[in-house]
């Protein structure tokens, strides 16, 4: 039981560190304080997902058959890790889009070059 509470504390500590890191980065990028407050829960949940992913990384995701090493089986952690990673990436994309805005790619210079080349 003691080991579980230490693990929980470790995950919570890592989530807090990631939360503070994200908030610090968004503040450095001059994100409006109101936007940070509105998105605070999503930032917290994203940090928790990150902590869970880091914890899962320590566990085996594939089990090999000792008699036949070519026979492999994905563990429940391996399957869950893929889902958590997809959720984490989705959250980060939403946060970055909401807080930092969309990245606008200016292809005008390239199009001008291509137009000149065709003449």
pLDDT number for residue 115: 56
Residue-number span of the structural domain to which 64 is assigned: 2-118
Residue 75 pLDDT greater than 70, yes or no: yes
pLDDT number for residue 9: 76
Mean pLDDT of the chain: 86
Domain count, the chain: 1
Neighbour tally for 103: CB within 10 Å:
7
Strand partners, 64: 72
Residue 117 pLDDT greater than 60, yes or no: no
| pTM of the complete model | 0.73
Contact of 36 with 23, CB cutoff 8 Å: yes
Confidence of residue 40 (pLDDT cuts 50, 70, 90): very high
Can you tell me the mean pLDDT for 20-31?
Answer: 96
pLDDT number for residue 110: 54
- Specify which of 1-5, 19-23, 64-68 reaches the highest per-range mean pLDDT: 19-23
Confidence of residue 69 (pLDDT cuts 50, 70, 90): confident
Instruction: Tell me 63's DSSP state.
Output: E
Strand partners, 73: 63
Residue 53 pLDDT greater than 60, yes or no: yes
Residue 97 pLDDT greater than 90, yes or no: yes
């Amino acid at each position: 039981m003691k080991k579980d509470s230490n693990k929980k504390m470790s995950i919570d500590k890592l989530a807090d560190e990631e939360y503070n890191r994200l908030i610090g980065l968004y503040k450095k990028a001059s994100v409006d304080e109101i936007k940070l407050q509105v998105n605070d829960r999503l930032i917290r949940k994203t940090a928790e997902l990150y902590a869970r992913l880091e914890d899962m990384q320590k566990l085996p995701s594939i089990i090999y058959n000792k008699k036949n090493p070519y026979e492999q089986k994905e563990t429940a952690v391996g399957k869950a890790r893929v889902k958590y990673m997809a959720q984490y990436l989705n959250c980060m994309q939403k946060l970055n889009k909401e807080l930092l805005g969309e990245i606008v790619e200016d292809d005008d210079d390239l199009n001008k070059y291509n137009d000149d080349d065709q003449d």
